[in-house]
Amino acid sequence: LHSLMRNAGRVVTHSTLAEAVWGEDYPDATNALKVHILRLRQKLEADSGQPKLILTKAGVGYLLAKPD
């Protein structure tokens, strides 16, 4: 969440997020990242199935939407 907040409004790549959280050599970081993003959405979003705060950019990464 910290990395997304520091880069609000910009896409943060999967690899950048994984490295920030677990370091360079974390096996299966992509799947672990998906699980953690899902859990963040469940806690932060009104409807985690239709996220408006933590958005996925397919094949690239995630972004935290800037507040209006």
Mean pLDDT score, 15-25: 87
Does residue 64 contact residue 4 with C-beta atoms inside 8 Å? yes
Q: CA 33, 25, 12, 47: dihedral to nearest 10 degrees?
A: 10
Using a 10 angstrom Cβ sphere, with 0-12 exposed, 13-18 middle and 19 or more buried, the burial of residue 60 is exposed
Domains contained in the chain, CATH given = 2-64 (1.10.10.10)
Query: Which is nearest to 20 in space by CA: 3, 7, 40?
Result: 3
Residue 46 has pLDDT above 90, yes or no: yes
- Confidence band for 23, pLDDT divided at 50, 70 and 90: confident
- pLDDT above 80 (res 68): no
